[in-house]
Amino acid sequence: MIAPPESPNIQGWASRPDHYNRPVTDPAIEAARTFVGHSLDAMRRAIVGSAPELLNWRPAGDETNSLAIIAVHAVTSTRWWLSVAITGNAPERDRATEFRTNISSAEQLLSIVDALSADCRDLLTSDEPLDLAVSRTDPREGGSTTTVAWALIHAIEHLQEHVAHAELTRQMWELTGRA
């Protein structure tokens, strides 16, 4: 079993005691549960208590993304790639709309992020072994193939990258005295 983190995340799924008391049936799924759980919890922390002005702020103008855009895109993409990896099917997605996200409150953004996060966590509840070498059709590339391993790892690394962007955006807002 995986040991709890040194500083458990009070809010999130990865910190639940039952998460660490489960038998490990598939180490890839278990690792993904941990990494995705911690990352989704971190994304949520970047949003909680934030003013709409921060969540919609584009740090370097219209060519950059707001924290709201980053959060919606990251979690939607994570659900999409986890679905490809676990089920072989991608859910419907309007990527262009993700980049037009504009919200009125942290609660509104959390309702979107929390629902998508629940889907991500549900995808990782399987106790069935995952064959990482299986080929999947890459829905973006008109029929090219990728592997379960690539889709799973990409889901995780892409989410972690955007969590760092969200945290940095919030830090920049606070350091500029806007908070």
The pLDDT of residue 139 is 80
Q: What is the pLDDT of residues 99-126, one digit of tens each?
A: 999 999 999 999 999 999 999 999 999 8
Are 54 and 135 within 8 A, CB to CB?
Answer: no
Give the list of residues 6+ apart from residue 177 with CB closer than 8 angstroms, or none.
none
Rounded average pLDDT over 74-92: 95
Interatomic CA distance for residues 125 and 107, integer angstroms: 26
Q: What is the mean pLDDT of the chain?
A: 88
Interatomic CA distance for residues 163 and 75, integer angstroms: 10
Interatomic CA distance for residues 7 and 130, integer angstroms: 29
Span of 33-42, 112-121, 133-142, 166-175 with lowest mean pLDDT: 133-142
Indicate the pLDDT class of residue 9, thresholds 50, 70 and 90.
very low
pLDDT at residue 157 is higher than 50: yes
For the chain, the domains span 26-175
Span of 35-39, 61-65, 100-104, 174-178 with lowest mean pLDDT: 174-178
Rounded average pLDDT over 150-160: 97
The pLDDT of residue 76 is 98
The pLDDT of residue 13 is 44
Q: What is the pLDDT of residues 11-54, one digit of tens each?
A: 444 444 454 455 557 899 999 999 999 999 999 999 999 999 99
CATH architecture classification, 26-175: Up-down Bundle (1.20)
Interatomic CA distance for residues 174 and 179, integer angstroms: 5
